[in-house]
Amino acid sequence: MKRILFLTQGDRRVASSRHRVYQYLTALERAGFEAIVHPGVILKEFHQAFFERSWQGNLRRAFRVFIRRVRDLHQLRDFDYIFVQKPILPAPFFNMELRIAREAKLIFDFDDAIFLKKPGGSLFANLWAQSQRVTTICRRAHRVVVANSALAEFVRKAGVEPIVLPTPVDTEAFDAGSNLAKRAHKIPVIGWIGNPTTQTDLNQVVPSLIDLHSKTPFVVRIIGGSATALPMRFPIEWQPWNLETEISDVAHIDYGLAPLADNEWNRHKSGLKVLQYWAAGVPVVASPVGIYREMIQDRENGLFASGRDEWAEKLILLMKNPDLCRRVVTGGRKTAQEKYSLQALTPRFLKIFDDPTEPTKS
């Protein structure tokens, strides 16, 4: 039996860890693997990272993660593969990934432009340039796994051919957990799901929503972000993000917003927000930026919008055109199931660990 140690960013409540690691654990077990997951950041620390923006808090969290990872280093030879989800620590002078690559088969996975400085990221996280560090890790890794073609281009420039594996969504869980019959509102609900660090992208549609509210009633529902960051010029509801209710919460949106500012960071994102809308049967209006250009066919599985007037126009179009609404919902669910579902991508994930000629550890 092959053994895999997953060193993830966080536990199941961290989106990238949940979708790119935890979702696959059942399939790994069925395929005969033993998978052990050691998250770097625990739940309390992860949420503090959003709201406590001091360098002292970031330093304390990094130190705790460092202690956990030092313990992990003593277990490397007990596993056939060490799956590292994004860099283990933000500071380059630790470079634990290189130590792992010397002693074990390192599989390096990332779904964001970790080689760039993150817009709105903490000073601690953006203090050092990461490009050379990530390049070196890619060159030393046994395999490199990335979420999309834009990230793959960076890895290829390092002289490494990556495995492109999109971030999956469990469409069967959405089918079972999204009670679509309950989504019947007297006033349309325009929704957005995310976290406080990504909510800046939502600001670009605020002027459009102000204009739209003068023409038709609606309520904006923010799931996981902060309603206080928006001007109170239209009705706003805020729901704290909850793992147990996430599917139902998304399903009870009438129209999903997926705005992205056109910058280098966003052009490398994985598009999870749109996948969640699609899986829940929510028609989506998105910016024509980055991965959304690859995922969305305008008026077939979603609508594109850019500029103040166009966002309002596309939302009104969906509200007043039920045939178009049904078409993009059907197209979105079909795209999610065929190209981005957990069920479709699991066989490709399992092949990452396919070394049939090599013996397993006893």
pLDDT above 50 for 360: no
330 plus 239 within the same structural domain? yes
> Does residue 360 sit within a domain?
no
154 plus 208 within the same structural domain? no
131 plus 214 within the same structural domain? no
**Among residues of the chain, what percentage have pLDDT more than 70?**
86
14 plus 90 within the same structural domain? yes
DSSP sequence for 106-126: EEEEESS-TTSPPTT--TTTT
pTM: 0.90
45 plus 134 within the same structural domain? yes
**CA-wise closest residue to 258 among 274, 236, 269, 238:** 274
224 plus 91 within the same structural domain? no
Q: How far apart are CA 288 and CA 303, in angstroms?
A: 9
Sheet strand arrangement including 143-146: 34-41, 3-10, 81-85, 105-110, 143-146, 163-164
Compute the mean pLDDT over every residue in the chain, rounded to the nearest whole number.
88
The domain tally of the chain equals 2
> Does residue 357 sit within a domain?
no
> Does residue 268 sit within a domain?
yes
Q: How far apart are CA 305 and CA 328, in angstroms?
A: 14
> Does residue 362 sit within a domain?
no
157 plus 192 within the same structural domain? no
Output the pLDDT for position 130: 81
> Where residue 305 sits, what CATH number does that domain have?
3.40.50.2000
151 plus 54 within the same structural domain? yes
pLDDT above 50 for 296: yes
Q: Residue 228: which domain range?
A: 171-340
pLDDT above 60 for 289: yes
41 plus 82 within the same structural domain? yes
In eight-state DSSP terms, residue 359 is P
